[in-house]
Structure 1
Amino acid sequence: MQNFSDDAHVQTGDDLALQTYFKAGISPDDVSAVFPLKRAQPVLQAFTALFHGGFNAVLLRLLVLRELAADVESPSLTRADINAKLAYLEPEALETVLSRLRGNGLLAWDSGAGVYRITPTARNVMAALESLIQVEEHNDQAEMSYMLTQVAGAQAVGGVSVEQLHHLLGRLIELTEEFSDAIASGSEFQLRAAQKKWHTACDWVEKGSKIIHAITHDERADAATHKAAQAIGRAQSALLNMQGMFSRALNQIERQRVHLGQSGLSTTDIKTWLLQKDDLAALADQALAHPVTPLFITPSEMIDVAESELLSHRVSALAGALPTGENAVSIANDNDDALHELDHWLDLLSNIEPGEKGVPLQDLLLPASFAVASYRASMLPLLGDPNESALQGATGTLARLPLIFQSKDKMQKLNDAQLAAISIASLVAAPRADDTPTAASPIQETP
């Protein structure tokens, strides 16, 4: 025979006077936070009556109270109605639950009419529980919907409290710190999970902005309420501004992502695939022909092997002969016409004396064919180039010439067989060799 007795009426060692929990010389009435809790004793006792004990007992009480509160057609229920509605429960268990609910003010028994009625306290408690259950069903990852719903409802009836606003503010600050930690972790998986949660939080922030705006402009609200609402507004702004931080962190990870050859697969794809496997060890089944045999050696043996390897490398390095020399591959012909042309042009540029007004560009490029003039013009950007100046050879000599290339955004026509027009430009000698010239496309071929 099963025992359905309720332990709510049994005095336990934990049921002590409130004063015993406080230090000597301190009265609970002197602590300001105790008063609102003592004032809410009826509703707190209602929660205690429902949630005291094991989970199965709590579930049974909520089941009975929820079933009875769902019948809104009649404000009262007879015992026969209750037995019919909860016919799937053992009679003794049902009687135990009804006795507990009745003894703690969640059910009212009208002895004259012989009926049960749901008390207002019970309906308030069930309404709060239904809101929490609905939040869980909708999978609110940001866990803000319930608190925002409470604030919105309280504001609608003109009774929002500072404590409700502080709970919402605390949740916003927790989310901001959580997202900041995810960004600082550098983990792509944590970032993407946090970004998904961030989008959910932003949806609730947008819905709550009007509520917070109404609270801040409510003349009936006191200073503490205004201050809390303004703090919530700042926390919402900080939360919304994290979009750029998420984007920068994900872009940085994208630039550092490693791809496996030309397959298109990346390390992120491999990790995602591995996370989907329940048993990673099973991937190695039949992958190894022989089991791995561990080798155990002592530190003395490790030193002997390391010394032997070191000495063998030194001996081989000393005994080895130098490799035979080979002729360098010829990459350029000393008789190349381009090199002769560059040497000739260097002599021409070297004759520009400091103090001159400037030599027109056409006098330096012409007379010559279009190919030679184009070659000379292509060498002009090397003048003053610091990287090229550090090199040897003709181009390095050209880069070190103390010349300044001056040009205008205009073209002048030429009377030449191959060049129709050329930029208005000149080369001027300067005492400094590190001035960087302005390169342009100075010539235009005759059509």
Structure 2
Amino acid sequence: MQNSTEHIDSHEPEDTSSSLQAYFKPEISFDDIEQVYQLKRAQPLLQAFTALFHGGFDSVLVRLLVLRELASDAQSSSFSRADINAKLAYLQADSLDTVLARLRSHQLLIWEAATSVYRVAPMARNVLSALDSLLSTQQSAEQGEDPADMGFLLTQVAGAQALGGVTVEQLQHLLGRLVDLTEEFRDAIASGSEYRLRASQSKWNNACDWVEKGTKIIYAITTDGNADAATQRAAQAIGRAQSALLNMQGMFSRALNQIERQRVHLGQSGLSTTDIKSWLMAQDDLAALADGAIDMPVTPLFATPAEMIDVAEAELFAERNQQSSELPSGTDTQFQVQDDAVLYTQLDAWLSSLNQLSVPSNSELPTGVDVQQILLPNSFAIASYRASLLPLIGDQDAGTSQGAAARLSSLPMQFVLTDKLIPIKDSEVAGLSDAQLIFQTQDN
């Protein structure tokens, strides 16, 4: 908060011709520039903003606070100094005197000496109204209601159109924002980042809502016979920019579909790298995730190419020096003959036992057997080997093969397997899948 030492600026107009010309080239007169002429015409309004916003943020905040408190009182149009002291009792007296003097000197507060009261100037109410509109749109953007930041611009155009005084400058501001959004969305699509795409798509949806609301306004401007050529051209350019913005839906969809096709899934868990990244981004402290997971910190070792070459050269010469020109002495080779006859004998015996299984003639007897009866008791290796052969039973494609595969495929049985796991009381096998061999009858 600025104290009473703040000086009071005079509201008398100053001759700024010489100082303003210093900003321009000597051969150019600022009077020949149209924008300068328009801004100089608005000097009273600009001076009102200068009176409010000149200086530090604390001073600006207190001035706006005082002016808004007085302007918000709709019950009375004039305020005595006692009324102001009561309304702003939370301010220091010296600070309040300084702010009132500044507002009064710049004609934002009008002092009537005859009745000794203050009145809020119409210029001050206009400035506060424009500021309140901007603050409300800013709050909406912060709350996520208008991430595209088009609400204020479109509101200004709509209000001016309703009053019949829309200007080319207002339309150009709206057009510039549409062009900025289009370039931002194109950059997000070109980046290939899923997070930028989804954030931009959300902003794009909001921008499309504002475009839909502003279409009627732009149509009214383009069909207005009293609008000048510059206004017509600006409105038509806004229409083209809106069309380009609406046509980006296909670009967003194609980019997201491409990312979906390239998504990496972690095994059969259903999780993807995007899910993990989203989870990591939601964590407040990533370093805390490593607490207790790493006993000793990882110490990185850095080496430049020169050191790497020196070490590699030293290792190469050391290895060459250790090599001997003499051939190593020979050793006797040990031959190991594997007797596969036992394995084939066990396979033939198992196939013979499967052949002996037949469909009982009595229908009350079971028509199938559990696989654990034909796999166990055996060692884990033999049981696993037999279990790997069971899917060949009844396989038509395996019937064209030879050996055990053809014999298994010709058995009058059907292998039925489920996802359920049954615990087994066995010394080597803890569990088997719930499966059966179903005998095929003549009726089947």
Tell me the residue number matched to 1:169: 175
Q: Any idea what the Cα deviations from partners look like across 1:346-371, whole Å, max 9, x if unmatched?
A: xxxxxxxxxxxxxxxxxxxxxxxxxx
Q: Scaled by the length of structure 1, what TM-score is found?
A: 0.66
Tell me the residue number matched to 1:74: 76
What amino acid is aligned across from residue 212 of structure 2 in structure 1? E
Of the candidates 180, 198, 202, which is equivalent to residue 204 of structure 2? 198
Tell me the residue number matched to 2:65: 63
**Is there any run of 5+ residues in structure 1 with no aligned partner, and where?**
312-318, 320-447
Distance in 1 (alpha carbons) for counterparts of 2:302 and 2:235: 66
Deviation at 1:19, TM superposition (A): 1.3
Tell me the residue number matched to 1:144: 150
Distance in 1 (alpha carbons) for counterparts of 2:201 and 2:316: 54
Of the candidates 258, 266, 270, which is equivalent to residue 276 of structure 2? 270
What amino acid is aligned across from residue 235 of structure 1 in structure 2? A
Q: Is the 8 A contact 1:183 1:249 kept in 2?
A: yes
Q: Any idea what the Cα deviations from partners look like across 1:19-78, whole Å, max 9, x if unmatched?
A: 111111322111111000000000000001111111111111111111000001111111
Q: Any idea what the Cα deviations from partners look like across 1:262-311, whole Å, max 9, x if unmatched?
A: 11111111111111223322222221122223445522344237858999
Q: Scaled by the length of structure 2, what TM-score is found?
A: 0.67
1:189 equivalent in alignment to 2:183: no
What amino acid is aligned across from residue 5 of structure 2 in structure 1? S
User: What is the total number of aligned residue pairs between the two structures?
Assistant: 316
Distance in 2 (alpha carbons) for counterparts of 1:235 and 1:309: 72
SS in 1 for 2:135: helix
Of the candidates 203, 215, 219, which is equivalent to residue 213 of structure 1? 219
Q: Any idea what the Cα deviations from partners look like across 1:187-243, whole Å, max 9, x if unmatched?
A: 000000000111111111111000000000111110000000000000001101111
Distance in 1 (alpha carbons) for counterparts of 2:314 and 2:210: 66
**Is there any run of 5+ residues in structure 2 with no aligned partner, and where?**
321-327, 329-444
1:5 equivalent in alignment to 2:5: yes
Q: Is the 8 A contact 1:50 1:61 kept in 2?
A: yes
Deviation at 1:3, TM superposition (A): 3.7
Say if 1:185 and 1:52 are closer, same or farther in 2 by CA, change over 3 A: same
Q: Share of identical aligned residues, percent? A: 66
SS in 2 for 1:117: strand
1:156 equivalent in alignment to 2:158: no
Deviation at 1:10, TM superposition (A): 9.0
Say if 1:304 and 1:57 are closer, same or farther in 2 by CA, change over 3 A: same
SS in 2 for 1:231: helix
Distance in 2 (alpha carbons) for counterparts of 1:296 and 1:61: 59
Q: Is the 8 A contact 1:173 1:235 kept in 2?
A: yes
Distance in 2 (alpha carbons) for counterparts of 1:40 and 1:296: 65
Distance in 2 (alpha carbons) for counterparts of 1:307 and 1:33: 77
Deviation at 1:7, TM superposition (A): 4.0
Judge which range, 164-173 or 28-37, deviates more: 28-37
Within 5 Å, give how 1:270-289 maps onto structure 2. Answer: 270-289=276-295
Say if 1:288 and 1:305 are closer, same or farther in 2 by CA, change over 3 A: farther
Say if 1:69 and 1:262 are closer, same or farther in 2 by CA, change over 3 A: same
Say if 1:30 and 1:289 are closer, same or farther in 2 by CA, change over 3 A: same
Say if 1:167 and 1:309 are closer, same or farther in 2 by CA, change over 3 A: farther
Tell me the residue number matched to 2:129: 127
Deviation at 1:152, TM superposition (A): 0.5
Q: Is the 8 A contact 1:274 1:280 kept in 2?
A: yes
Distance in 2 (alpha carbons) for counterparts of 1:248 and 1:24: 55
1:245 equivalent in alignment to 2:247: no
SS in 2 for 1:89: coil
Q: Is the 8 A contact 1:168 1:232 kept in 2?
A: yes
Distance in 1 (alpha carbons) for counterparts of 2:267 and 2:317: 39
Distance in 2 (alpha carbons) for counterparts of 1:120 and 1:263: 67
Within 5 Å, give how 1:24-423 maps onto structure 2. Answer: 24-139=26-141, 140-296=146-302, 298-304=307-313, 307=316
Distance in 1 (alpha carbons) for counterparts of 2:129 and 2:209: 24
Q: Is the 8 A contact 1:8 1:52 kept in 2?
A: no
What amino acid is aligned across from residue 150 of structure 1 in structure 2? Q
Q: Is the 8 A contact 2:263 2:272 kept in 1?
A: yes
SS in 2 for 1:17: helix
Distance in 2 (alpha carbons) for counterparts of 1:295 and 1:145: 55
What amino acid is aligned across from residue 174 of structure 2 in structure 1? L
Distance in 2 (alpha carbons) for counterparts of 1:210 and 1:19: 44
Deviation at 1:114, TM superposition (A): 1.1
Distance in 2 (alpha carbons) for counterparts of 1:187 and 1:225: 39
What amino acid is aligned across from residue 313 of structure 2 in structure 1? D
Q: Any idea what the Cα deviations from partners look like across 1:92-144, whole Å, max 9, x if unmatched?
A: 10111111111111111111111111111101100000001100111221111
Q: Is the 8 A contact 1:8 1:49 kept in 2?
A: no
Tell me the residue number matched to 1:337: none
Judge which range, 132-141 or 222-231, deviates more: 132-141
